[in-house]
Amino acid sequence: MLTFALRSLTAAAFLALPLTAPAAAESARHGAPLPLAAAVELLPSAVESREGYQRNSFKHWNVGQNPSDGCNTRAEVLIAESRVEPIVEAGCKIVAGEWYSYYDGVTLTAPGGLDIDHMVPLAEAWDSGASTWTAQRREAYANDQGAEHSLEAVSARSNRAKSDKDPADWQPPLADARCTYTAHWVATKLRWQLTVDDRERAALSELAAGCGQETVDYETAP
């Protein structure tokens, strides 16, 4: 009994230790959620450059996940994220539903008040590595529905306040949303193997330090 107890204590102590970067990478390869701070450590560093950026370098919105449904990516996200059955008219015109904008804690019922936010904005993605991608990969990024939080239906007001800023310059006005937002940001960057600069890393590390229970779960984009 004493031997069993000692082994249990040793195992518990081991699990309480922070993951090293190699251990975190191994955990990620096996699909296990990572502590937020460990996930931040996996982000590669690089100097950002916006040289040559144009928004139309990222084709969006395209025909979406289901080309036969007559809905583009924006419409598919609105339909998927509505908390009630949305009202959809001919031509995939969405006229009503119920959406919760977690950035600012606002519930909206009219789709005109919503933007579909790229979790990591297109300009930030360009700065962080997408400038070297093919046009096809940039289109895949701009319309990514393969991860739950790459695209988010949020209030137009909050999305336009965010604009193309990273977490060093913008965080959700609702304080309770900031840990979730940070985890989604880090997951998106890891999914698409995007880099961070020094200011961004410092902001993410500071946020992660106050989000002890938050984890990051991601799959690398095809």
Spatial separation of the C-alpha atoms in residues 182 and 119, rounded to whole Å: 10
Q: In the structure, what pLDDT confidence band is assigned to residue 37 with cuts at 50, 70 and 90?
A: very high
Q: What is the pLDDT of residue 173?
A: 97
- The single residue listed with the structure tokens 């395209």 is 62
Between 17-31, 91-105, 153-167, the lowest mean confidence (pLDDT) is in: 17-31
What's the mean pLDDT in 64-92? 97
Which pLDDT does position 31 carry in this prediction?
A: 64
pLDDT at 15 over 90: no
The pTM is what? Answer: 0.86
Residue 32: the pLDDT is 86
Mean residue pLDDT of the chain comes to 90
- Please, what is the Cα angle at 155 between 212 and 202, to 5 degrees? 35
Q: What is the pLDDT of residue 28?
A: 52
Q: Where are the alpha helices (DSSP H) in the chain?
A: 2-16, 21-29, 36-42, 73-81, 122-127, 135-142, 156-162, 178-191, 198-209
Cβ atoms of 171 and 131 within 8 Å: the answer is: no
Report the percent of the chain where pLDDT is more than 90. 86
Model confidence over 149-207: pLDDT tens digits? 999 999 999 999 999 999 999 999 999 999 999 999 999 999 999 999 999 999 999 99
* Cα dihedral sign, 81-145-158-90: negative
Which residue type is seen at 160?
Answer: R
Q: Where are the domains of the chain?
A: 32-216
